[in-house]
Structure 1
Amino acid sequence: MNIIFKNILKNGYFIFGIFLFTVLILSFTPNHFLNAQNNRQETYKQLSLFGDIFERVKEQYVEEISDKELIEAAISGMLQSLDPHSAYLSADDYSEMQVKTKGSFGGLGIEITLENGVVKVVSPIDDTPAFKAGMKPGDLIIGVEGESIRGLPLNEAVEKLRGPIGTKVKITVLRKDEDPFDLEIIRDKIKIRSVRYEIINNVGYVRLTTFSQTTTSSMVSNIETIKDKLGDKLEGLILDLRNNPGGLLNQSISVTDAFLNNGEIVSTKGRGKSDIERTFAKPGDILENYPLVILINNGSASASEIVAGALKDHGRAIILGTRSFGKGSVQSIIPISNSGAIRLTTSRYYTPSGISIQAKGIEPDIVVEAGITKKKKEKSSVREENLRGALDKKEKDNSNNDNSESLTKIEKLLEDNQISRAYDLIRGIKLYGKKNSLNKKKLVNQNPHKNKIG
């Protein structure tokens, strides 16, 4: 009897469980499906509106236009409405973009974005037609060949700037605190040398103009050359990221990794809470902890900011110059069925300290404005060596035997106010380190109690 009662009770709970589950399903499922159905209906409604407009444009527009042109324009508009960096890439655009990341393409040599409907120059690329014509970061391009391009989608503005190599294009530029003016630029094949180096006395100088597929390997090779040439005389390195508009994310990570032994380099966070990726450094500092100064300005964007932000957060480098551009978003290139692609903003990146630089930029440790610093020759100074009959130096001065072209390059570099300050900073750090070490040894040797046992 007890067993039967227990079975009834057990089955009763089971039946009650089924009843409760059924009630819950009936309570929540209709709302869920209703919401989903309403969302679908709204989507169908908007697509129906799109189809209606598509047909009207196709039938009534003053000129005949193909379905392909209309649909591509609609896709382009959809992506451009999201942010200045998302875009539709036709098959030709996608192919050209792949060539650009390899370091060679045709054009003016500028990285541009769209700001409030106006084309803005992020940075001119070194030694390109735009750079030689005097374009600067922050310049606004408001006209091409006398026609306004205000309000045009970015891809249409780019099309107007493009043209056959060797042809001229007149662009109207608006620069802060100046009246609009025209620049005539000859289009050319853009060959980007993404890395170059110089040796300023005992300080290495490496300039990165962009982050292409070969940037890290070229940089490492150049730094090894500097180390081989200077040996123990090496005092430090200046890494110049000014007017570097960015490029490949993986290259910015590997460039940063080259100077760190451990720790986080960058994290990217997408829309979902779990959509987080963190990248960490592997052991091995190519500079072996020698002083590192990084130069940035308002033309340093994206990948440049990842490098500067990570090395600043880790205390591995001193950042000198002016605030960077502030592009803290990551774009994914997603190939699509027509051999084209979409460039879609899929995440934001954060420095190791968790700071997003989107629209804020990287603040330098030492603010130094751009400018020219010319060393004044000491014409009026009289030294012992200038006096008639002065004794000769015991050691011969071989400084005049140096390559004059090399000296000219160094002089030109040091005329740059920011490079000059970075150079002085590294030499100061090295000198302080030497003096501090010598003073400690001197104090130890002078201590009368150093050998006494208390």
Structure 2
Amino acid sequence: MRNFALISTGAALGVLGTVALTQPHLLLVDRAQASLADSYKQLNLFGEVFERVRSDYVEPPEDGKLVEGAINGMLASLDPHSSYMDAKSFQDMQVQTKGEFGGLGIEVTMEDNALKIVSPIDDSPASKAGILAGDVITALDGEAVQGMSMQQAVDKMRGPVNTPITLRVLRAGKGVPFEVKLVRDIVKVASVRDEELAGDIGYIRITQFTEQTFDGLKKSIDRLSRKIGQDKIKGYVIDLRNNPGGLLDQAVSVSGAFLGRGEVVSTRGRNADDVQRFAADGPDLTQGKPIVVLVNGGSASASEIVAGALQDRKRATILGTRSFGKGSVQTIIPLQGDGALRLTTARYYTPSGRSIQARGIEPEVVVQENVPDDLKGTDETKGESGLTGHLANPGADKAEEGGSSAYVPANEKDDTQLNRAIGILQGRPS
């Protein structure tokens, strides 16, 4: 939990200086009092509407639902990532970050009152059913999603293991929605998996940044170095494609596994002095071996922190397509009643001081996958810049963009990006 504190500072002024500074000081006080009075006026307006609804609405409303709806509306007006979590949702979120939870295995966001899929989780019911990043869910068990809050939709998708749910899905280029029946299951996010490729390449896939990710990465690197032989490994492919992000501390630790020491990321809040810097403390677990990092339009948040740090520090070659562009930090603030506030409190910056908010990470080596004809036009993500109400990039001279193809072939031999990465590590010409 992040703590906020107001620090008052005072200065002793000489008699001669007092007269010169009194009027501006009073002006600032008057402005502060006027602003406070205006805030109370707005809160009184809220109270008046609340009471009118309670007394005159056609049916007796539930006070708790009215307040929760007002809170959700307030937060939705800020940006796409700030939200209120009731006690159950907060508990579910805590379980999810531990790396195991019940559900369908999809990362979703609300966009233009539609429930849009950011990324399916590997080996989850959604992934096995062919759900794709960019798909829009229009109905859940026949009930229209429009009008639901994101949390209401998420709650409806969750449920007891082995129970079915039918999603109506709209896919770009298809025109007509289609239905997919899924069976809820325990989604075990094995956030890291590895394999040997081409005899001398270590491949490590990171699907999310959970509490288990860094430990899983250490085990993968150790396993690959023993299997291939530390002196024979030509390098590592770190696959962050369609990784929606997760825990900041895990992103810092994962970066440190390749960087050794030095800055990974900094965060900056609303005040000029509200800056935090996060550094890796190493060591480089790969012992300096070459690295290629794969990203695409589904790579967001914590995965962009890792890619940006390795790119800025010249530690890896970034390959693929432009990442999602989520460059903001959400702080989880527990509230009374066992709920919590997920509030956007800062933007993050790569070691060179650039914000990727609504811009994404641009790879040094841009490689497009060969998208099957029946999926062309459906594989693209708009990225953060396509989300209504997103935070602007603080660089006024930088055009916003972000997002790209999020298609990854199921068969490695068809994976153009992966095969290009292997070629780079083996020194083969493109």
TM-score of Structure 1 vs Structure 2, range by shorter chain: 0.7 to 0.9
3-state DSSP of counterpart to 1:277: strand
- By percentage of residues, which structure has more helix? 1
The farther-off stretch of 63-72 and 81-90 is: 63-72
Which amino acid is 1:70 matched to?
L
The farther-off stretch of 296-305 and 164-173 is: 164-173
- 2:108 pairs, out of 112, 121, 126, with 112
- 1:192 pairs, out of 176, 189, 192, with 189
Matches within 5 A, 1:59-208: 59-179=55-175, 180-200=177-197, 201-208=199-206
Which amino acid is 1:223 matched to?
I
Q: What is the CA deviation profile of residues 9-50 of structure 1, one whole-angstrom value per residue up to 9, with x for unaligned ones?
A: xxxxxxxx748625743x335433332222222112111111
- Give 1:357's aligned residue: 356
Q: 1:69 to 1:230 in 2, by over 3 A?
A: same
Matches within 5 A, 1:216-365: 216-231=214-229, 232-365=231-364
- Give 1:14's aligned residue: none
In 2: Cα distance, 1:325 partner to 1:252 partner: 16
TM-superposed deviation, 1:425: 1.7
In 2: Cα distance, 1:310 partner to 1:23 partner: 49
The farther-off stretch of 348-357 and 327-336 is: 348-357
The farther-off stretch of 174-183 and 322-331 is: 174-183
TM-superposed deviation, 1:62: 2.7
Q: What is the CA deviation profile of residues 417-439 of structure 1, one whole-angstrom value per residue up to 9, with x for unaligned ones?
A: 2222211221126x99xxxxxxx
Q: What is the CA deviation profile of residues 313-346 of structure 1, one whole-angstrom value per residue up to 9, with x for unaligned ones?
A: 1111111111111110000001112111100000
- Give 1:37's aligned residue: 33
Sequence identity percentage = 50
- Give 2:211's aligned residue: 213
Task: Answer yes or no: is the 8 Å Cα contact 1:320–1:366 preserved in 2.
Answer: yes
TM-superposed deviation, 1:222: 1.0
In 1: Cα distance, 2:249 partner to 2:282 partner: 17
TM-superposed deviation, 1:151: 4.9
3-state DSSP of counterpart to 2:156: helix
For structure 2, list consecutive stretches of 5 or more residues without a partner in the other structure: 1-13, 373-409
Q: 1:123 to 1:21 in 2, by over 3 A?
A: same
Q: What is the CA deviation profile of residues 240-286 of structure 1, one whole-angstrom value per residue up to 9, with x for unaligned ones?
A: 11111111000000000110133321111111001111222334211
Q: What is the CA deviation profile of residues 139-194 of structure 1, one whole-angstrom value per residue up to 9, with x for unaligned ones?
A: 22222233332353221222332333222222222222222322222222211111
3-state DSSP of counterpart to 1:289: coil
Q: 1:85 to 1:20 in 2, by over 3 A?
A: closer
In 1: Cα distance, 2:356 partner to 2:148 partner: 27
TM-score normalised according to structure 2 size: 0.83
TM-superposed deviation, 1:112: 1.0
3-state DSSP of counterpart to 1:346: strand
Q: What is the CA deviation profile of residues 95-152 of structure 1, one whole-angstrom value per residue up to 9, with x for unaligned ones?
A: 1111101111111101111222222211100000111111111222222233332353
In 2: Cα distance, 1:340 partner to 1:233 partner: 52
In 1: Cα distance, 2:20 partner to 2:289 partner: 71
In 1: Cα distance, 2:39 partner to 2:416 partner: 57
TM-superposed deviation, 1:214: 1.2
In 1: Cα distance, 2:420 partner to 2:314 partner: 19
RMSD over aligned Cα, in angstroms?
A: 2.2
Task: Answer yes or no: is the 8 Å Cα contact 1:372–1:415 preserved in 2.
Answer: no
Matches within 5 A, 1:358-397: 358-371=357-370
Q: How many residues align?
A: 377
For structure 1, list consecutive stretches of 5 or more residues without a partner in the other structure: 1-16, 374-410, 433-454
In 2: Cα distance, 1:24 partner to 1:306 partner: 46
Task: Answer yes or no: is the 8 Å Cα contact 1:372–1:416 preserved in 2.
Answer: no
Q: 1:20 to 1:244 in 2, by over 3 A?
A: closer
Which amino acid is 1:320 matched to?
L
- Give 2:399's aligned residue: none
Which amino acid is 1:224 matched to?
D
Task: Answer yes or no: is the 8 Å Cα contact 1:121–1:139 preserved in 2.
Answer: yes
The farther-off stretch of 220-229 and 146-155 is: 146-155
Q: What is the CA deviation profile of residues 52-79 of structure 1, one whole-angstrom value per residue up to 9, with x for unaligned ones?
A: 1111111222332222222122122211
The farther-off stretch of 250-259 and 221-230 is: 221-230
The farther-off stretch of 33-42 and 124-133 is: 33-42
Which amino acid is 1:292 matched to?
I
Which amino acid is 1:105 matched to?
F
Q: 1:254 to 1:283 in 2, by over 3 A?
A: closer
Task: Answer yes or no: is the 8 Å Cα contact 1:89–1:341 preserved in 2.
Answer: yes
Q: What is the CA deviation profile of residues 205-248 of structure 1, one whole-angstrom value per residue up to 9, with x for unaligned ones?
A: 11111101010011111101111121122111111111111110
- Give 2:46's aligned residue: 50
- Give 1:379's aligned residue: none
In 2: Cα distance, 1:323 partner to 1:29 partner: 49
In 1: Cα distance, 2:205 partner to 2:243 partner: 9
TM-superposed deviation, 1:412: 4.4
Task: Answer yes or no: is the 8 Å Cα contact 1:108–1:187 preserved in 2.
Answer: yes
Matches within 5 A, 1:400-411: none
In 1: Cα distance, 2:108 partner to 2:371 partner: 26
